[in-house]
Amino acid sequence: MDAPRFDIDECRNQAEHEFINALHARAEAGLWFADSWLEPDKIIVTVNIMDAEANCVLRMLRVDFDGTALTYGRDETCQLTTFLDPTRPDVVVIADKPPAGLAEIAADWLEHEMRRPVVRHEWHRPEFSHRIWLFADTGEHLMWSDSANANRPGLGVPDKIISVNRVRDSKQVAG
């Protein structure tokens, strides 16, 4: 499967072209998919970490390139409705490198995050059903099925632990 081409034709200058071309080359080599969004002052590239079976986005990885600097981190809204806040500990800003070098840094981070295994823990009881998604490597919670049950004491051992589809591939792109 070929990775879809980023919107290279929409680049407004040489720096954007170099950044997107280098990032696309990594995506193509790694067979991963990303969306690109052209904003007035930057290009935004996103990769969704999903659970295809549950039909939900668990994380949106986001890379912003403004022509001179790279900002990357998790988009906390999964909807591109806020800026990446550089004061958050999971947001990184890097400048003073050529666009292709910044694209390599972005691709390294995206690929690292895409490789992280995600599992879904499920509990099925007569009075409730509950799911929690977490990183298998750290146990860090990504999301739970409903806030009312998020801290339910005494859930006990999950009935199921399922490895989930981590990264949306091009066949899962909604039209």
Provide the Cα torsion 144, 33, 19, 17; round to 10°: -130
Find the helix packing angle between 14-30 and 99-115, rounded to 10°: 30
> Is the pLDDT reported for residue 72 higher than 80?
yes
Q: What is the mean pLDDT of residues 83-95?
A: 94
Least confident of 38-42, 88-92, 129-133, 149-153: 149-153
Q: How confident is the model at residue 172 (pLDDT cuts 50, 70, 90)?
A: very low
Q: What is the pLDDT of residue 74?
A: 94
Q: Would you kindly state where each structural domain of the chain is located, as residue ranges?
A: 8-115, 118-172
